[in-house]
């Protein structure tokens, strides 16, 4: 598939019946997908493969001394990582609906996307300053960068219904994730080369190479976000501003509105559970490999590189699968794969088994995330994209809070990350059962009948 074929899209008519320029629409698709390319460097390097291992190295051998309001205890590195990831996303989960309503009312989607993107990229770049003994600085900068990453995705996702159209959202979402896996993989590859070849680059040690890799990741994120800023310039969508949305009642107004869209609400709850497991698996896999299996940094990075490039065709495969059997069944199939993965993780003890585990994750990872995003977009009432993608972010980020928190607590109690990984099966099973309660056809009809 050539790059032109990758972004080839059908002609579409706007609300006035005027044919939209095919070239203009392809440019919009290409620019939008480039943000997946840009921010996936953060996802692979900082959230998944490199920074978690570096973070463990910053924690003292006996654990970090944590003191809160007179309560104090030693917390081991893997558990502390889980706690930090959970707490870093709490602000996003609480502010997402308000940010979404603000973007819809003021048509600030593009501006807020730029602001949070650049905030996250700057914080990531500043991680180059985090050296030995600077655990607190690492926590602060990571939390700020993760906030920027999560918040920018609210407004990025909000453009999906406008650009994809009702029949193109599955395809566009899958292509975005596919391009993201390539971009994230290439960024991780560069950082991998920097770390392994630190002497050739004239760097003192692998720790310094890791810090320069984080600087590179922040610059990668900012630089490759420029195409999406340009592609989305001037793009607005009609919005629905209700009295409840303009008051200070905050989140309760939109939560009440969800009662009118029962299938959308059911999907959100299902997504909360199964995405809980997915996000946790992503952010703790490197910690599990290092702490439980004793794998080297080179082995862990190599495995994550493989995941990125296998996940790309996996995302495209699930995009086609969703077109054949429906998005709901495609997601359910991916969840069966995730259940198999975490059960298998309980038994593995060797490096080759971790590589096999990574390959299985790669196949189902892209599909589950891309199809979930497009299915949700189909259930959103007309003209309230950013507002309801704010709630998608709430579901997403509360999942990212609860999962790592459960992982951290179980690791703290049992001293085993293996047991904590196995516990994630419960999230996938519950999410899959709840997903069966969603009537997609009825939900799409309710969304189309919403008053614009």
pLDDT in tens, 73-124: 788 888 888 888 888 877 777 776 667 667 666 667 788 889 999 999 999 9
Please name the residues in contact with 10: beta carbons below 8 A apart, sequence gap of 6 or more: 167, 168
* Separation of alpha carbons 16 and 443, rounded Å: 25
Would you say residue 412 has pLDDT above 70? yes
Which residue would you say has higher pLDDT here, 15 or 209?
A: 209
The predicted structure's pLDDT at residue 70? 65
Structure tokens at 390: 């704010």
pLDDT of residue 344: 92
Q: What is the mean pLDDT of residues 355-367?
A: 84
Both structure tokens of 450: 């919403």
Over 80: is that where the pLDDT of 35 sits?
yes
Average pLDDT over residues 123-133: 93
12 has pLDDT over 70: no
Instruction: Name residue 371's beta-bridge partners.
Output: none
Q: What is the mean pLDDT of the chain?
A: 80
Please report the domains of the chain, with CATH numbers, ordered by start residue.
24-63+74-232+254-448 (1.20.1250.20)
Residue 219: pLDDT band by 50, 70, 90 thresholds?
very high
Q: What is the pLDDT of residue 249?
A: 47
User: Which tokens belong to 145?
Assistant: 């960068």
Mean pLDDT of 260-289: 87
Asked if residue 127 lies in contact with residue 141, where contact means CB atoms within 8 angstroms, the answer is: yes
Distance (Å, rounded) from C-alpha 223 to C-alpha 227?
9
Q: Is pLDDT of 365 > 60?
A: yes
pLDDT band at 15 (very low <50, low <70, confident <90, very high): very low
Cα separation, 182 vs 188, in Å, equals: 10
Per-residue pLDDT band at 14 (split at 50, 70, 90): very low
Global confidence as pTM: 0.74
Q: How many CA atoms lie within 13 A of 185 on its CB side?
A: 19
Residue 45 above 60 pLDDT? yes
- Here the tokens at position 167 are 């029949």
Confidence tier at 217 by pLDDT (50, 70, 90): very high
């Amino acid at each position: 598939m050539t790059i032109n074929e990758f972004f080839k899209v059908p002609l579409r008519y706007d609300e006035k019946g005027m044919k939209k320029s095919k070239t203009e629409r392809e440019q919009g698709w290409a620019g939008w997908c480039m943000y997946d390319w840009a921010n996936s460097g953060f996802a692979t390097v900082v959230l998944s493969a490199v920074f978690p291992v570096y973070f463990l190295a910053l924690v003292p051998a006996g654990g970090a001394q944590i003191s809160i309001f007179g309560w104090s205890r030693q917390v081991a590195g893997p558990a502390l990582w889980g706690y930090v990831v959970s707490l870093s996303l709490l602000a996003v989960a609480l502010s997402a609906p308000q940010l979404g309503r603000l973007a819809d009312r003021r048509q600030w989607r593009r501006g807020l996307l730029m602001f949070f993107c650049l905030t996250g990229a700057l914080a990531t770049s500043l991680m180059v300053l985090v050296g030995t003994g600077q655990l607190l600085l690492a926590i602060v900068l990571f939390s700020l960068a993760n906030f920027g990453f999560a918040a920018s995705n609210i407004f990025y996702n909000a453009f999906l219904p406008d650009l994809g159209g009702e029949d193109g959202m599955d395809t566009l979402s899958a292509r975005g994730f596919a391009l993201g896996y390539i971009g994230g993989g290439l960024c991780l590859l560069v950082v991998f080369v920097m770390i392994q070849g630190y002497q050739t680059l004239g760097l003192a040690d692998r720790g310094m190479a890791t810090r320069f890799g984080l600087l590179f990741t922040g610059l990668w994120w900012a630089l490759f976000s420029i195409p999406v800023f340009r592609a989305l310039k001037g793009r607005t969508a009609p919005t629905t501003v209700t009295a409840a949305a303009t008051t200070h009642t905050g989140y309760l107004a939109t939560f009440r509105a969800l009662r009118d869209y029962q299938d959308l609400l059911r999907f959100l709850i299902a997504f909360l559970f199964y995405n809980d497991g997915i996000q946790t698996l992503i952010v703790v896999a490197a910690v599990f490999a290092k702490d439980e299996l004793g794998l080297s940094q080179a082995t862990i990075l190599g495995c994550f590189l493989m995941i990125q490039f296998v996940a790309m065709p996996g995302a495209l495969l699930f995009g086609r699968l969703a077109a054949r059997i429906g998005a709901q069944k495609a997601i359910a199939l991916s969840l069966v794969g995730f259940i198999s993965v975490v059960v298998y993780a309980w038994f593995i003890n060797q490096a080759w088994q971790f590589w096999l585990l990574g390959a299985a994750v790669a196949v189902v990872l892209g599909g589950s995330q891309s199809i979930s995003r497009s299915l949700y977009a189909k259930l959103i009432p007309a003209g309230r994209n950013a507002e309801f993608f704010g709630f998608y972010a709430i579901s997403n980020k509360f999942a990212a809070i609860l999962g790592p928190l459960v992982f951290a607590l179980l690791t703290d109690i049992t001293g085993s990350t293996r047991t904590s990984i196995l516990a994630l099966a419960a999230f996938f099973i519950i999410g899959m059962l709840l997903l069966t309660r969603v009537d997609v056809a009825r939900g799409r009809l309710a969304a189309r009948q919403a008053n614009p």
